[in-house]
Amino acid sequence: MTLPFAIIAGLTVGSAIAAMSLRNLVHCALSLVLTFAGLAGLYLQLNAEFVGFTQILVYVGAVAILIVFAILLTRSTEPKDEPATVTPWIGIAVAVGAFLTMALAVLASPVGKRVAAPAPEVSVKTLGQKLMTDYVLPLEVMALLLTAAMLGAVIIAMKDKEGQR
């Protein structure tokens, strides 16, 4: 384990814990942004530059902004002293159980000890060519999905407003 990996991984996991446990929703969203940035750092560690920067562009630049807007538009009217969680112990127990299962699986598997091959030559050109040839159907489906999601989001968020008029 190298030092940069340890720092980035610690930051990512720490901010993810903060994102799930802080009371203030905006603080949660900001910690989430740190998690996304840390993940982008991990992608860079894995020589996946393109996906790493796409991660920042999409998650930090768009998804985080969406979440923050949603938080501000749904200002909580509930009393402050109400607990932020429901039946925390069951959920945490489930999560810890899932983690232990996965950790044991990783430790038991020989795949986990695999050491990286020399950094592969990743060119954006070949990635684009792959997207336009081998993966052209998923790409088109993705385009359709994004359009549908955009229209759907607009219509869902608009409906109530029209009803009020």
Partner 1 sequence: MADFFQAIDQFPVTLKHWLMTQLGGVLPEWAEPLVSAALSITPILAVFPLMFALTTVIERKGLGRIQNRIGPNRVGIPLTNIRLAGFGQFIADGIKSLIKEDVVPRAADKVVHFLAPIALLIPVLLTYSVLPFGRNMVPLDLPQTGLLFFFAVGASTELSVFMAGWSSRNKYSLLGAMRAIAQMVSYEIPLILSALTVVMMAGTLSLSGIVERQMWHVAMPGIPGDQDGLLARWFLFTPWGLVGFFLFLTAAAAEANRTPFDLPEAESEIIAGYFTEYSGFKFAIFFLAEYLGLFAMCGLGITLFLGGWLPPVNFAPFTWIPSWCWFLGKLSALIVLFIWLRGTLPRLRTDQLMGFAWKFLLPMTLINLVVAALWHLLANSIPLVARWPLCFAMLAVPYWLLGRGFEAKFTKREYRFAN
Partner 2 sequence: MTPLSGYLFVSALLFCIGLAGALTRRNAIMVLIGIELMLNAANLNFIAFWRFSENPETMTGLTFALFSIAIAAAEAAVGLALIITIYRHFRTANVDKVEDMKG
* Site mask for partner 2 (CB under 8 A), range 42-61, x = bound: xx-xxxx-xx--xx--xx--
The CB density around residue 145, as the number of other CB atoms within 10 Å, is: 12
Indicate which single residue of 79, 80, 111, 125 sits in contact with partner 2 (rule: CB under 8 A). Answer: 111
Beta carbon nearer to partner 2, 1 or 81: 1
How far, in Å, are 26, 77, 78, 84 from residue 81 at the CA level? 17, 12, 9, 9
Q: Does 107 bind partner 2 (CB under 8 A)?
A: yes
DSSP state of 158: H
* In contact, 27 and 8? CB cutoff 8 Å: no
Burial of 3 (0-12, 13-18, 19+ CB in 10 A): exposed
Residues 121-150 that bind partner 1 (CB under 8 A): 122-125
Tokens 């009371």 belong to: 23
Residues 27-46 that bind partner 1 (CB under 8 A): 27, 30, 33, 37
Q: Least distance from C-beta 36 to partner 1, angstroms? A: 10
- Selection from partner 1, partner 2, none that 138 binds (CB < 5 to 8 A by kind) is partner 2
Classify the C-alpha dihedral 31-58-48-147 as positive or negative: positive
Q: Least distance from C-beta 81 to partner 2, angstroms? A: 13
Q: Does 7 bind partner 2 (CB under 8 A)?
A: no
